[in-house]
Structure 1
Amino acid sequence: MPSREQRTFDPVPLAGRAAASRRAVLRVAGAGGAALAVSACARIPLTGPLGREALPGDVRPDVPYVQPRPPAEGAGPEETVLGFALAGVGPADDYGVARQYLTPEARLSWDPGAGVTLYSADAEIEATPLDESTVRLRLQSIGSVDAHGVRVRQSTPAAQELEVGVEQTAQGWRVSEPPPGIFLSDSAFALLFSAARVYFLDPRRLHLVPDLRWFSAHRAAAVALAALGAGPAPLLAPAVVSEVPAGIAADPLAADVLTRADGGLELELPDAVAALPGPAQSLAIAQIQATLRSMPALSELRVVRGGEPLQVDGATGPGRALPGHRPIAAGPTGVISLVGASGAGEPLQLVPDLQSERVLAPVISQSSPLAAALREDGGAVIIASTDGSVPRRDAAVGPALIAPRIDDAGYVWTSSPASAGAMVALSQRSSDADARIDAAWLSDRTILALDVSPDATRVLVLSRDPNGARLDLCAAVRDETGVPRALTEPVPISTGLRDLRLGGWFDETAVIVLGTDAVSGGSRALVVDLQGEGERLPAPPAGTDWIAGTAVSDAVWSSTQDERLYRVEGADWAEVDLPARQPSFY
């Protein structure tokens, strides 16, 4: 296929208005090879001519492209509104085809970058006239993407109605009051948008912290650079910093942001970054390089200056923080290693101060000897270490505490289920250094579990209210010394499960959850990639109440209420003949 051509179907014209019903209905095809084309063109014939058209000049030939249908002559207000909604598949010429459906004034004011409304490709989009100047657009919404590129997915589809202003012009019916942003089916969105991890820095400048965004695939790299300069999305804004100057990519539609050299992809370091002093420049380059390389098509990209590659010292510069790979668990007593676990011989004790007593929910830091566990009665968190360097401390901060988690700033996080809008970060030094972590949005909720990401910035909180359990993603706001002080307003994570019981980090942007299957009613474990869909794990053994996993070693362990230990082997769970429970990784 020529590099500057794209095959396009010749669609069946939109049907004329039915005078009796005064209603236009578009049935959108489900997932499959034709789903995107249907979303773009109303209906696709099973037979008919196959044509070729040159791609618009600002469309990259290496990403999917669909030619949207322009307004049909004689189309009524309902068909015009539907055509406008479907034309969101065509980003060429700043959504030039979609603008053809608008009045001249609306073409100037409409902002396609205001966001994306996502709808199910298995449902209908309906346009119904309300009066001579208004059409109601109705669809099944399954989520949205805001102006920052942040996507929110709904757990179930929900009917959404919008009133769209129309007027008769010399060219026919046109949309005079368009909704901001564009509309895409889930199948169209998967083809036309790319996920990118826009990397910022934790306040200590030790870690790269991913801010997950979705951008149009036709200009994802340039827009990702612009997003770096614009700063983090609201979820992370109070919790991260950046060395990338504002306005790094003032023109996100620039065609020469990326250039090819010697068969590879290169980005010439922007002048604003080159002007930074040495340490700040290195940090900014690390942010830029990690951000662009997070997109599969740019995984080998190099940042250059005058043709010379620029590299960040991996030993001293900030890096991506990933979950640990060494499995541990609570043994009959103490905290034991599960590395090479086979049931033969005595398990290796990892925390000397705890080796003679029974504990629950053990955790060990990846970056230091710090360790923690719940006392068997759940009324205190025990802080200790793997080498005796941290004096043992029993912190009784509330009844029935949730399982502790450790960040790499030396704090052990926990909470009573009834949090009263706050958590506590226990210091490894002394109770005088403990910190209260404010989270007013948890005031009326019961906390079930939490997990702090390896970058010590993003926090998962599993909580419950009368409407059920939910998993939220938020961020830890720290003061200038690194002490956690508050959690940002959360973004819910859709898992598709009911009665969630546990949730934790599996990878940089993936979580592992345990709950109830909404269809079968049975126990279900999932790895939910925040960039894509969930991956089902084998059905958990009966009585499973604990699960932990890590993408670093592609390992998943679980335990049951009667203290049986399992790990995933192939397509099933294999029981490990070892008296241990509540596994985790460090």
Structure 2
Amino acid sequence: MTIRRPDRPDRPGHPRRSVLRAGAVTGLGLLAAACARIPTSSPVQQQQVGSGVVQDAPYVQPRLPVQGAAPEEIVLGFVQAGVGPEDDYGVARQYLAPSARSSWDPTAGVTIYPAGMELEVVRTSDVSARLTVQALAQVDARGIRTVLGAPSSREIDMRLEKVDGQWRISSPPDGIFLSQAAFENLFTTARLYFLDPRAAHLVPDHRWFPVQQSAQKLLVQLGAGPSEVLAPAVRSAVPQLTELAEVTLAPGDDNTTQVELPRAIDDLPQSQRDRALAQIQTSLRTLRGLSSVRVSIGGVVVDLSAGDLSRPLPGHRPIGAGTTGIISLADITAGAGAAQLVPALADDVVSSPAIAQSGPLAAALAADGGTLVLASTNGSIPRRDAALGGALVAPRVDDAGYVWTSPVTSAGALLALSGSGSAADARVDAPWLAGRELRALDLSADATRLIVLSADESISRIDLCAVIRDAAGVPTELTSPITLHTELGDVTQVSWYDEIEVLVLGTAAQSGEQQVLVLNLLEGSEMMPAPRPGTLRVAGTAVSEVIWATTEGGALLRTNGTGWSSVDLPARDPSYY
């Protein structure tokens, strides 16, 4: 195993096949009234999309209804036909009564169930049947996926009627049903990039779109806006696009995909136009097969300069708490001392060091664990000791000039201390944390997305939310969080590993052994080398080739993906900036 480089959108390739990890579903009382499996593989073909072409779009042949099919078979065939989006799911509509064919909305969402699971359909009356499916996840009309904590049984009742002597469904549920394998073939991951309030960073929003309409869907959703967890914290310069036909695709002579945008983009004020194009370019390049994109309006290729906008990644410079305060863990060689990074803390015993990725602001916890010390790498910020009372969670520093922490026993708020002085400090309410034990928090490199690890009666929970700021970057509140699920039984530490990945330290649910994994917010998780027993903290980012760790016994360890080795250096609490 090797430590992975960051998942860069400009690199084409199929996503890892771990999009939804779930244990085998057993003990299902399949009544066998009518059971079949959805076909999930067939040759890859080139597909037409509107007036454009999508390369390598997978194709699975749906089946037309057969003469004389029973109601159970019609319901099952309708579900199976969800694999065929051609002609606006024309085959699936053949299973519907004429009154339902025009009203059924297949784009309303996707219910995903385990691959290999047989579907149960039971006739409940002369004119009705019930479909039972074990749902793993839901994808809504906007492409937002919700992974369920455990498979959830869903029962869907459908009414049928005779049409020219053949059974047809008169009350179909909106949306489609796909096995996990079929979903991974027919849908692709995407990242929609939105603007932070300072228009300094592009912030990713995670989506899943049908492969055959991925670019069109992406552009429409950029105009529609971000998901709920990000909505109050980011904005879009892309105007609302109501029709998929406003976007056309055509392969260029140099294998670069040309995307023709509607003239509404060109009519925007210059600054908004530049930002909209930056959003569009960066988002399109995350799609499978669209790593090289040329954008045109009215047939004229436009400049896709992102200006001052950045797509920041986690830091690559390792640090730790040593005998001279905050020290560098980079370029450590036998017998060489570690470089001291924060002069004001050179004589202090500190823990949990943190430094801003851009700017000199630094912070650490004092020896008592309840005092937060703010300083700087260049002496430009006066040292400040903030006694906040009680044990504090390890601080993190954002690029807007704030140090984030909280008492371990949460009062329903996080503290953001300003590097410019106490008058600018902010108390950011988080009522969903009230009474919980805070174990860790970390801000993404875009200073917008926040992960918080907390526990209640020893049951750990990872929450993802966004920081709402004003135009100057001052934090005012947090959005309502969503919960991230892992296969670990108890989690003790989390930190951002990449733009859409989180490094997690915890224990296995069954064995109780410590494990380290990288949780991808789109595609699942990947195990890293097993940590040494008693590991307290791990630190790593995808832009670095090394993961660091410290143990209860004070050992400093590192790995490049092939096992852990000891580092002869008196340091602890590794981190990156």
Q: CA RMSD in A?
A: 2.3
Match of 1:228 among 208, 222, 225: 222
Instruction: Look up the match of 2:374.
Output: 383
Moved over 6 A (4+): 52-57
The equivalent residue for 1:132 is 126
Cα gap change, 1:411 to 1:23, in 2 (>3 Å): same
Tell me which residue corresponds to 1:44. Answer: none
Count of aligned residue pairs for this structure pair: 546
3-state SS in 1 of match to 2:248: coil
1:351 and 1:567 mapped to 2: Cα distance?
23
Residues 280 and 168 (structure 1), Cα distance of their counterparts in 2 relative to 1, 3 Å cut: same
Question: How far did 1:124 drift?
Answer: 2.4
Task: Give per-residue Cα distances to partners, 1:347-405, cap 9 Å, x unaligned.
Answer: 11101111111111111001100001112221121111101111111122231111111
Whether 1:280 and 2:272 are equivalent positions in the alignment is yes
1:24 equivalent among 15, 25, 33: 33
Cα shift at 1:463: 1.5
Question: What does 1:354-365 align with in structure 2 at a 5 Å threshold?
Answer: 354-365=345-356
Match of 2:536 among 534, 545, 554: 545
In 2, the alpha carbon distance for the partners of 1:357 and 1:451 equals 24
Judged with a 3 Å threshold, the aligned counterparts in structure 2 of structure 1 residues 429 and 22 are, in CA distance, closer, same or farther, namely: closer
Cα drift, residue 260 of structure 1: 2.8
Q: What are the within-5 Å matches in structure 2 for residues 193-272 of structure 1?
A: 193-247=187-241, 250-252=242-244, 256-272=248-264
How far apart are residue 495 of structure 1 and its match? Answer: 1.6
**Residue pair 2:491, 2:504 contacting (<8 A) in 1 also:** yes
Q: TM-score, normalised by structure 2?
A: 0.90
Paired residue type of 2:357: Q
Deviations 1:253-306 (A, max 9, x none): 567344534432122343111112222111111001001011131111022346
For residue 288 of structure 2, what is the aligned residue in structure 1? 296
The answer on whether the counterparts of 1:282 and 1:317 sit within 8 Å (CA) in structure 2 is no
Q: Could you tell me which runs of 5 or more consecutive residues in structure 2 were left unpaired when the two chains were aligned.
A: 1-29
Match of 1:43 in 2: none
Structure 2 counterpart of 1:582, which letter? D
Amino acid at match of 2:161: E
Corresponding residue for 1:318? 309
**Does structure 2 retain, via aligned residues, the 8 Å contact 1:23–1:129?**
no
Partner of 2:23: none
**Which residue of the partner structure matches residue 18 of structure 1?**
none
Aligned partner of 1:80 in structure 2 is: 74
Aligned CA distance change for structure 1 residues 274 and 254 (closer, same or farther; 3 Å): closer
State the Cα distance separating 1:76 from its structure 2 match: 1.5
- 2:56 aligned residue: 62
Q: Does 1:141 align with 2:135?
A: yes
Tell me the residue number matched to 1:106.
100
Judging changes above 3 Å, is the alpha-carbon distance between structure 1 residues 506 and 22 closer, same or farther for their aligned structure 2 residues? closer
- The Cα offsets for residues 22-69 of structure 1, whole Å up to 9 and x where unpaired, read as 84343548xxxx7446xxxxxxxxxxxx9x999788684621011111
- Matched residue, 2:331: 340
Give the secondary-structure state (helix, strand or coil) at the position aligned to 1:558. strand
Q: Against the structure 1 CA distance between its residues 543 and 342, is the aligned structure 2 distance closer, same or farther, given a 3 Å change threshold?
A: farther
CA contact (8 A) 2:516 2:530 kept: yes
Q: Distance in 2 between matches of 1:479 and 1:133?
A: 57
- Return the match for 1:490 from 478, 481, 492: 481
Q: Identity over the aligned pairs, expressed in percent?
A: 50
Code of the residue aligned with 1:431 in structure 2: it is: S
> 1:179 and 2:188 equivalent?
no
Is the contact between residue 516 and residue 523 of structure 1 (CA under 8 Å) also seen in structure 2? yes
- Alpha carbons of 1:348 and 1:229: their partners in 2 closer, same or farther (altered >3 Å)? same
Q: Does 1:92 align with 2:90?
A: no
- The two structures have a TM-score, normalised by structure 1, of 0.88
Pick closer, same or farther for the CA change 1:55–1:261 going to 2, 3 Å. closer
Whole-Å Cα distance in 2 between the matches of residues 424 and 25 of structure 1?
A: 57
Secondary structure of the structure 1 residue equivalent to 2:35: strand
The alignment status of 1:469 with 2:460, answered yes or no, reads yes
Relative contact order, higher structure (CA 8 A, sep 6+): 2
Distance in 1 (alpha carbons) for counterparts of 2:496 and 2:481: 16
Query: What is the one-letter code of the residue matched to 2:168?
Result: R
